Amino acid sequence: MTAPAADAPDRKADIDAFARRHKFRWTEALPWAAAIACYFTFENYHALGAQIFATILFALSLDLLIGYAGIITLGHAAFFGVGAYAAGIMAANGFHEPLSGLVIAALAAGIAGFASGAIVLRTSGLTLLMQTLVVAALLQELANKWTSVTGGSDGLLGMKIDPVFGVFRFDLFGNTAYIYCLAVLFLGWLAARNLICSPFGRSLTGIRENAARMRAIGAPVERRKIIIYTISAALAGVSGALIAQTTALVGLGALSLGRSGELLIMLIIGGIGRLYGAFIGVPLYMIAQDRFAAVDPVFWYFWIGLFMIFDGVFARGGALGVIARRRGGSPPQ
């Protein structure tokens, strides 16, 4: 952007705004306050809450790719699944400690992300979409075939998870699961927030907006894409491990196209590239699903479908996009 000299004061305001945008705002504490309040007000919904937190982390990892790096994928469940199976297979084979399970899951999913990213990230658009979809489909087929390790279509059973820190047992009511998932989500969010505010994060946005120009100024575009893909995969893996550990099971659905697609829908509903889209879209979708499914399970698809059409046509940019437009605010960062 080249601004004429006459606009200098404006420009200073811009620079100030730019410097401020990475500072914590009080609104950013809202989701966490709400989550803690919900612990006490909705004590019968802790199991659902835990799954929502884990899914928010998953959606956050997808937002890093789509919203910040402009990498559109339909196979993000691959890494969720790798993480879930890694944590699950460990826990089913005598290694019951949960925190190390998360670390292993992050490593396994990160490696899968790095390896597949190195292959598929050379393409873009529909081709990239298909490549990511195919990677997930291949892994799902592998999990289906390799029944001795994964349990195949019956799912991985017999997982045992030790109490967190040796104290907090995963209970029937989901109390431990709620706090555990919330804490991990908080750490994941901190990491993601730091990442996108860093120069590395800003360069990703540059790649999204104009990869050719980024190349021209000497940014190693391909390498940065692979790095963010790996990081995102690791986060998705942690999310998968959270679900696996708190439910004590992993099924083939963890790797399915359905899971990737549903996640994408949740994120689009919330708003992409705004860091908080996941915090709005995921609870909205999952709570609506829970409620609709209780009232009219058969036609849940019909109503959510109508909502999505309406959302896609009239509420472009998701919930946060609408809010930003109403306030005359900015496009995604």
Partner 1 sequence: MFSAKISGILLGAAAMLGFTAGACAQTVKIGIISSYSGFLSQAADEMEKGINLHIKEYEKTLPAGVKLEVVRRDDGSNPETGKRVAQELITRDRVQLLFGIVSSPVAAAVAPLTAEAKVPLVITNAAGAGITRISPYVVRTSFTLWQEAVPLGQWAAKQGWKTAFTAVSDFLPGHDAEGAFTKGYTDGGGKIAGAVRFPPANPDFAPFVQRIKDAKPDVAFLWVPAGAQATGMLKAARDLGLREAGTKIVSTQDLAPDEELPNIGDIGAGLITAGTYSTYGERPANKAFLAAWEKEYQGKAIPDFLSAHGWDGMTMVFDMIRATNGKFTGDEALKFFTTWKTDNSPRGSIAIDPATRDIVQDIYIRRHEMKDGKLVTVEFDSIKQVKDPWKELNPPK
Partner 2 sequence: MADFIPIAVSILFHGLAMAMVLYLISVGLSVTMGLMGFVNLAHGAFAMAGGYVLIILMKKQGWPYGLALAAAVVICMLASLVLERLLYRRLYGGDELDQVLMTMGLIFVSVGGATFLFGPVAQSLDPPAMLRGQIHILGRDFPTYRSFLILCGALLVTALWLGLERTRFGAQVRASVDNLRMAQTLGINTSKLFAIAFALGSGLAALGGGLGAELLSVGPTYALDNLVYCLIVVSVGGLGSIRGPFAAALLVGVTDTAFKYLAPELGAFFIYALTMAILLWRPRGLFGTAS
Dig out the tokens for 174 from the structure.
């989901």
For residue 12, the minimal CB distance to partner 1 (Å) is 46
- Under 8 Å CB-to-CB from 330, ≥6 apart: which residues? 324
For residue 309, the minimal CB distance to partner 2 (Å) is 4
- Regarding 303 and contact with partner 2 (CB under 8 A), the answer is yes
Dig out the tokens for 196 from the structure.
């996108």
What does DSSP assign to residue 303?
H
Q: Which residues, numbered 21-40, are part of the site for partner 1 (CB under 8 A)?
A: 39-40
Smaller CB separation from partner 1, 19 or 172: 172
Chain centre distance of CA 124: 20
- Regarding 265 and contact with partner 2 (CB under 8 A), the answer is yes
- Regarding 307 and contact with partner 2 (CB under 8 A), the answer is yes
Q: Would you state the torsion angle of the CA atoms of residues 120, 123, 129, 132, taken in this order, to the nearest 10 degrees?
A: 0
Q: Collapse the DSSP code of 168 into the 3-class scheme (helix H, G, I; strand E, B; otherwise coil) and give the result.
A: strand
Phi and psi, residue 156, nearest 5°? -80, 120
Q: The tokens 């790797």 sit on which residue? A: 255
Buried b (16+ CB within 10 A) or exposed e, 321-333: beebeeeeeeebe
Q: How far is CA 106 from CA 25, 28, 41, in A?
A: 29, 26, 32
- Regarding 301 and contact with partner 2 (CB under 8 A), the answer is yes
Question: 11 near 3, Cβ under 8 Å?
Answer: yes
Q: Which does 317 bind (CB under 5 to 8 A by kind): partner 2, partner 1, none?
A: partner 2
For residue 195, the minimal CB distance to partner 2 (Å) is 21
For residue 32, the minimal CB distance to partner 2 (Å) is 27
Identify the residue among 173, 194, 209, 215 touching partner 1 (CB under 8 A). 173
- Regarding 56 and contact with partner 2 (CB under 8 A), the answer is no
Report the alpha-carbon distance of residue 187 to residue 193 in Å, rounded.
Answer: 10
Give the torsion sign (CA, 97, 98, 101, 106): negative
Identify the residue among 8, 13, 157, 309 touching partner 1 (CB under 8 A). 157
Identify the residue among 114, 152, 222, 288 touching partner 1 (CB under 8 A). 152
For residue 172, the minimal CB distance to partner 1 (Å) is 6
Phi and psi, residue 50, nearest 5°? -60, -40
Report the alpha-carbon distance of residue 210 to residue 70 in Å, rounded.
Answer: 10
End-to-end alpha carbon distance in the chain: 15
Q: Which does 69 bind (CB under 5 to 8 A by kind): partner 1, partner 2, none?
A: none
Site string for partner 2, 128-167 (x = CB under 8 A): -xxx-xxx-xx--x--xx----------------------
Identify the residue among 100, 144, 194, 198 touching partner 1 (CB under 8 A). 144
Identify the residue among 82, 241, 269, 319 touching partner 2 (CB under 8 A). 269
Q: How far is CA 297 from CA 63, 288, 294, in A?
A: 29, 11, 6
Smaller CB separation from partner 1, 249 or 275: 249
- Regarding 243 and contact with partner 1 (CB under 8 A), the answer is yes
Residues interacting with partner 1, by CB under 8 A? 39-40, 43-45, 47-48, 51, 141, 144-145, 147, 152-155, 157, 167-168, 171-176, 179, 243, 247-249, 251, 253, 293-294, 297-298, 300-301
Residues interacting with partner 2, by CB under 8 A? 66, 72, 119, 122-123, 125-127, 129-131, 133-135, 137-138, 141, 144-145, 257-258, 261, 264-265, 268-269, 272, 298-313, 316-317
